[in-house]
Chain A
Amino acid sequence: MTNSLLKISNVDISLPEGSERLLAVENLCIDLAPGETLCIVGESGSGKSLTARALMGLLPAPHVKVSQGQIDFCGEDLTKVTERRLREIRGSEISMIFQEPMTALNPVMTIGSQIDEIFRYHVSMSAAERRERAIQLLDDVQLPDPAQIVNSYPHELSGGQRQRAMIAMALALEPKILIADEPTTALDVTTQAQILKLISDMQAEHQTGVLFITHDFGVVADIADRVAVMQYGHVVETGTVDKVLNNPEHPYTQALISAVPSLLPRSARARSEETVLEVKNVNKTFGGGSSFFKFGKPSRVVDAVKDVTIELRRGETLGVVGESGSGKSTLARCIIRLMDSDSGQIILNEVNICDLNRAEMRPWRAKIQMVFQDPFASLNPRVKIGQIIRQGPIIQGATQEEAEARTLELLEIVGLDERAFNRYPHEFSGGQRQRIGIARALALNPEILVADEPVSALDVSIQAQILSLLDEIRTKMNLSMVFITHDLRVAAQVCDRLAVMRYGEIVETGATADIFDSPQHSYTRDLLAAVPGQHWER
């Protein structure tokens, strides 16, 4: 590329002593042309976010710093410029959008005054002009009623609206480079599709160079011109999006791409006649409470789960899919009786477990177990792995020896070394912790496993391993599974049947293949259409 906007050559970023590795990023060479989108892809810890921060001069110095190399931006070396010049560049020539718009925006300032700040620091304009520009910008990013939004606080907007406001701020001064650090990871899939489109529209209009950091190959396929794949701080492969996605050369890229779940649903299995779990007309509302002395208005009532009816047959995996706030996690917690549903029946082996009190529920607990989303929060940091897995059977009446034997057996089933028995959770990686969580759930020999987003906190290659582990266990133990996910790719690979949830209601149920081929409800169609990277299928 001749007219390069940004040229990073031989950059090393050093980490403080005692870190996992010496250099976060080693010998990095990347360039970016105007109007081009370069995607940096990699798993967590690959150094992609630090690269972005280095460009903005936002590394947490003095612990982490660029120790070698040049970052050439239109003839200036960003590693050498003064702090003053760097401030001028930030926001006006290079700007950045972050993953979580709620934490990137100041909660006590209105959107308008946050945009206003950018103009105040970088250009001289009158207050009225600045306000007009701010409204104009919010209009450009297609926010409804910009004159109103300019006076709103971040918490009054939805996640997607906040990210639009962030983009408006980032593009306020028409920067030459926009750095986007996982800007859609925290968003729902339909919102993500809109934001991606917005970014590429804005880019086409202003000829901005976009450096887009992501871990999602679907997103890469949708927006990238070129791709750089990072692993352990090295760029292992760069090339055009077509070349990298369809003819990856480096084994790591090949492994990453083959780990991306396909959107083609798995072949349907024969459906058993035996129903193991029936959920009938279950409702759950939140809020409506008032204070101790009954002062003040009761709080707003939210229908988290509304009249939900589902049926789970033996050996079947039922996927519950939906966006955040659709009530799928609440439904899972009602099924497992972590929450009490307001009305309706949950029938397990012909018994309505909603009627059971805590003591009566205890023997039923063994039949239905849960795998949690966050592998870091779901294990008690102060308890050893052996104890975590063992305590379930002991509570249910097994002897110490039986429980211990079972624990060792389970560690082997989930692919962990038996030395794990005497270790604490912090000694394990995210994927290993999720294996431990699965072992804990299996320790009671359950008939039903409720998995609440079990792979959404994991990197794509680990995700593939956990999914295949779940698949293996399911066949071996003839488990029935309720699988909660927001990721339709994962759902396609795991689930025999799907239930699509929106605003607490199930809008559509059916065999996975049928729903993917001919979605009946308009919401299901929107969801399917919004999955990134559809035109790219291996």
Chain B
Amino acid sequence: MNDFWKRFSRNRSAVLGLLILCLVIFVASIASLIYPGDPFLYSQYPLSKPGENGFLLGSDSIGRDVASGIAHGAKTSLLIGLIATFAAVLIGVIFGALAGYYGGLVDDVLMRVTEVFQTIPSFIFAILLVAIIKPSIESVVIAITVVSWPAVARLVRGEFLALKNREFVQACHTLGMGDYRIMLKEMLPNCLSPIIVIGSLMVATAILIESGLAFLGLGDPNVMSWGFQISDGRSMLRVAWWICTFPGIAILITVLAINLVGEGLNDALNPRLRERN
């Protein structure tokens, strides 16, 4: 663990990413403390500039506090990102592991199913799903999960295919070990590193998809999110630039931070790249 941290911290930008990410998580977790009450609550000061009337980052067309929206939106974005990624990784690992381990017909069937999901452009597919199920926070999570798991399945399948014929796996067969035990206890730990890396990068994509959906008006109307804020302020971009800009910056630095961390994890977990820097 110490060794891992040493390797991770050698990548300066990854450490910076981690710091920003921690800051975002911190803001999200204290959102209800610093901005108690509903972020949808409007005041009598619409379109206040940043710093005016006690609004740190200004207010929007009906007087909602942009800063409060960003703080509460952070919670939404991170939660959706984490839950959707977790679900997608779970499904992807199951599909990929079974396909890679058993091969043959199982592999053919599972991979054709995966390909069906991969042929549809993921964002359009997500829009379609949310439009069908009705916009709510659950449907957004489901949509993101459905469009993201095939990448994990492909990755895990590849890893399992390579591991399947390794001698230590064959040795487990000769001991009479059961299939599920071999997959879970022997093979899976050996492909955790790439799964962690792809998972960390998927959180960033999930946040982007969620913002995109909310921007198109397909987010949960009762939950504050960054995408909703941008969507709400876009018609007033020329008179009140702050309504779109600050949530946009929030998305930018959060996604950037997660990508930096993901890349740092990749360098730290992949021993072959260790000497590159």
List A residues at the B interface (Cβ < 8 Å): 292, 333, 336, 338, 361-363, 365-366, 368-370, 372-374, 377-383, 391-392, 395-396, 437, 440-441, 444
Contact = CB atoms under 8 A, between A and B. Distances in A.
Given A292-B112, A381-B190, A374 B170 contact: no
A336 B166 CA distance: 16
A372 B167 contact: yes
Nearest to A377: B167
Contacts of A381: 190
B52 interface: no
Contacts of B108: 292
Given A370-B174, A378-B168, A391-B177, 18 more contacts: A292-B108, A333-B170, A338-B174, A361-B176, A368-B174, A372-B167, A372-B170, A373-B167, A374-B167, A377-B166, A378-B166, A378-B167, A380-B190, A381-B190, A382-B190, A383-B185, A395-B177, A437-B171
A522 to B, nearest CB: 34
Given A377-B166, A380-B186, A382-B189, A440 B176 contact: no
A440 B176 CA distance: 13
Nearest to B190: A382
A361 B173 CA distance: 11
A391 B166 contact: no
A-B interface, 5 closest residue pairs, ranked by CB to CB distance from nearest: A378-B167, A365-B176, A362-B176, A372-B167, A382-B189
A413 B170 CA distance: 24
Interface of B: 108, 112, 166-178, 185-186, 189-190
A391 B175 contact: yes
A368 B168 CA distance: 16
B174 A336 contact: yes
A279 B274 CA distance: 49
Contact of B171 (A292, A363, A368, A372): A372
Given A292-B108, A361-B176, A395-B177, A378 B190 contact: no
A381 B167 CA distance: 12
A526 B167 CA distance: 32
Contact of A392 (B112, B169, B175, B189): B175
A392 B181 CA distance: 13
B271 to A, nearest CB: 10
Contact of A338 (B112, B173, B178, B185): B173
A395 B174 contact: no
10 contacts: A338-B173, A365-B175, A365-B176, A370-B170, A372-B170, A380-B168, A380-B189, A380-B190, A392-B176, A395-B178
Contacts of B190: 380-382
B193 to A, nearest CB: 11
A372 B167 CA distance: 7
A347 B167 CA distance: 25
A395 B175 contact: yes
A378 B173 CA distance: 12
A437 B108 CA distance: 34
Contacts of A333: 170
A240 to B, nearest CB: 42
A440 B189 contact: no
B181 to A, nearest CB: 8
B176 A396 contact: yes
A395 B180 CA distance: 13
Contact of A395 (B112, B168, B176): B176
A377 B168 contact: yes
Residue from B173, B176, B190 having most chain A Cβ neighbours under 10 A: B176
Contacts of B177: 391, 395
A444 to B, nearest CB: 7
Contacts of B186: 380, 383
A195 B169 CA distance: 37
A365 B174 CA distance: 6
B168 to A, nearest CB: 4
A59 B130 CA distance: 58
B135 to A, nearest CB: 38
Nearest to B173: A338
Nearest to A440: B171
Contacts of A391: 172, 175, 177
A379 B166 CA distance: 9
A373 B167 CA distance: 8
Nearest to A60: B275
Residue from B167, B170, B177, B186 having most chain A Cβ neighbours under 10 A: B167
B47 to A, nearest CB: 58
A391 B167 CA distance: 16
A360 B188 CA distance: 26
A361 B175 CA distance: 10
B40 to A, nearest CB: 49
A336 B171 CA distance: 10
A396 B178 CA distance: 11
A437 B167 CA distance: 10
A437 B171 CA distance: 9
Contacts of B112: 292
Nearest to B178: A395
Nearest to B179: A358
A441 B175 CA distance: 8
Contacts of A292: 108, 112
B170 A338 contact: yes
A379 B168 contact: yes
Nearest to B112: A292
A383 B168 CA distance: 10
A391 B169 CA distance: 13
A373 B177 CA distance: 20
B175 A444 contact: yes
A104 B155 CA distance: 30
A332 to B, nearest CB: 11
B174 A378 contact: no
Residue from B173, B174, B176, B178 having most chain A Cβ neighbours under 10 A: B174
Nearest to B187: A380
A366 B177 CA distance: 11
A440 B175 CA distance: 9
Contacts of A396: 175-176
A157 B90 CA distance: 45
A369 B172 CA distance: 11
